[in-house]
């Protein structure tokens, strides 16, 4: 997980929520033509679908950060040699959520230098 990707998901979520709020606030059935209301409703439905996908991705990647794991380890745990003999819930690199978050936010380390 890359901090910039998680930040992108969070920022996009805030953007979609604010856009949906502005759209809903702009709809006035009493004074606007029904064509505009229909278009606004369709755009709002699309926005809600995008929001659902963004929230799902953000929740999943937040879990990955807190658990100290990667998408690859979760999805392919049966084909990874160091995870194959362990239960699916086993997280080899989990150091507790506080240290996991600290490591996630820290600058990348050079693994070759130990």
pLDDT by residue, tens only, the chain of 114 residues = 588 999 999 999 999 999 999 988 887 777 778 888 888 889 999 999 999 999 999 999 999 999 988 888 888 877 787 777 877 777 877 889 999 899 888 877 765 565
Residues 67 and 96: their CA atoms lie apart, in Å, by 7
Residues 15 and 47: their CA atoms lie apart, in Å, by 10
Q: What is the pTM of this model?
A: 0.78
Phi, psi angles (nearest 5°) of residue 94: -75, 120
Residues 88 and 93: their CA atoms lie apart, in Å, by 14
Residue 9: C-alpha distances to residues 34, 42, 84, 107, 113 (Å): 34, 23, 31, 20, 32
């Amino acid at each position: 997980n890359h901090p910039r990707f998680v930040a992108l998901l969070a920022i996009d979520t805030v953007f979609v929520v604010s856009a949906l709020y502005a759209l809903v606030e702009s709809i006035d059935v009493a004074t606007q033509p029904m064509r505009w209301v229909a278009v606004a409703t369709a755009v709002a439905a699309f926005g809600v679908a995008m929001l659902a996908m963004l929230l799902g991705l953000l929740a999943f990647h937040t879990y990955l950060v807190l658990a100290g794991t990667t998408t690859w380890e979760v999805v392919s745990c049966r084909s990874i040699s160091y995870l194959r003999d362990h239960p699916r819930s086993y997280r080899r690199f989990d150091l507790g959520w506080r240290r996991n978050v600290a490591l996630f936010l820290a600058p990348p380390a050079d693994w070759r230098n130990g």
